């Protein structure tokens, strides 16, 4: 598993930022730089590429592309990093991994997670949104240029909300790699086989998982900030409001004009996270 590192590599204050289903750790470049710039003391920001994404290896068994395996990988990474102060920022899938690590007191974490940012995700995920994601998952494409790839990514990700062309290109560039079998062409930088276990997800299995996720959430002791795109189709407002009343009693911030999920590159989103983690 590869990871991107920002800040002071000797710092014992570690912020781990984990991306969504098809994304990679470079999504957090803007946030990581803001944290390093605004921190009053040494800080180390770690942005992993979850297995099968970014620069990380692809798994031989596609059925291992599931949340429990990702959480186990993160435990190994945290043992390697050895923080004494630990914060977690998780977008979508990365937030679910964070809930697993925060919600089980018996896990061998090197330090308890002090502050948790859940970006547009909670114990209840709307089935219609999962179906929407499943329609494009695994289709890594073939593109003649970075701009063509960026345009294709926008077609499936416009719910991320308004971005300048420069912001979107910066988010898109780490998402692609050359196609060795087709010189001059690009493809998305994730293993299309991550779609295989996802196809086994049903409305019934999602509903069955909700009780477990609520139990994990209710066990969280970290100070928690919940971010929500006001037009999110994955995290309903009812679930978000319930999360402010249960478990850690998350503080809820919503961003107008954004669906699933805020990218944390726009100024107000970045400021919300940095002020929460560094205050």
In DSSP notation, 160-215 reads G----HHHHHHHHGGGEEE-TTSTT-EEESB-GGGHHHHTT--HHHHHHHHHHHHH
H/E run at residue 80: helix 67-81
* Residues 109-165 pLDDT 10s: 999 999 999 999 999 999 999 999 999 999 999 999 999 999 999 999 999 999 999
**Cα gap 222→116, rounded to integer Å:** 6
Tallying the residues shown for the chain, one arrives at 279
**Three-state SS across 99-153?**
HHHHCCCCCCCCCCEEEEEEECCCCCCCHHHHHHHHHHCCCCCCECCHHHHHHHH
Domains of the chain, start order = 3-127+194-278 (3.40.50.1820), 139-189 (no CATH)
What is the token pair recorded at 179?
Answer: 């196609």
**Cα gap 33→201, rounded to integer Å:** 36
* Residues 10-53 pLDDT 10s: 999 999 999 999 999 999 999 999 999 999 999 999 999 999 99
> Which residues, in sequence order, are CB contacts of 212 under 8 Å at separation 6+?
none
Give the pLDDT score at 261: 97
Give the pLDDT score at 180: 85
Is residue 59 within 8 Å of residue 192, measured between CB atoms?
no
Is residue 46 within 8 Å of residue 17, measured between CB atoms?
yes
């Amino acid at each position: 598993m590869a990871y991107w590192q920002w800040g002071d590599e000797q710092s014992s204050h570690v912020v781990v930022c984990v991306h969504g289903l098809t994304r990679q750790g470079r999504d957090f470049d803007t946030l990581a730089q803001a944290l390093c710039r605004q921190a009053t003391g040494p800080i180390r920001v770690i942005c992993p590429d979850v297995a099968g994404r970014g620069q990380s290896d692809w798994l031989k068994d596609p059925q291992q592309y599931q949340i429990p395996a990702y959480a186990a990988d993160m435990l190994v990474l945290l043992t390697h990093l050895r923080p004494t102060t630990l914060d977690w920022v998780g977008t979508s899938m990365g937030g679910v991994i964070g809930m697993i690590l925060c919600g089980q007191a018996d896990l061998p974490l090197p330090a308890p997670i002090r502050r948790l940012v859940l970006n547009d995700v909670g114990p209840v995920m709307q089935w219609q949104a999962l179906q929407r994601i499943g329609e494009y998952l695994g289709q890594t494409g073939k593109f003649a240029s970075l701009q063509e790839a960026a345009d294709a990514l926008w077609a499936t990700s416009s719910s991320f909300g308004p971005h300048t062309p420069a912001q979107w290109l910066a988010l898109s560039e780490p998402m692609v790699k050359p196609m060795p079998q087709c010189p001059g062409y690009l493809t998305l930088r994730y293993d299309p086989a991550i779609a295989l276990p996802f196809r086994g997800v049903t409305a019934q299995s999602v509903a069955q998982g909700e009780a477990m996720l609520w139990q994990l959430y209710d066990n969280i002791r970290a100070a928690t900030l919940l971010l929500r795109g006001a037009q999110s189709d994955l995290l309903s407002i009812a679930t978000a409001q319930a999360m402010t009343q249960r478990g850690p009693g998350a503080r809820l911030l919503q961003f107008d004009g954004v669906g699933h999920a805020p990218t944390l590159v726009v100024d107000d989103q970045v400021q919300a996270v940095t002020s929460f983690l560094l205050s």
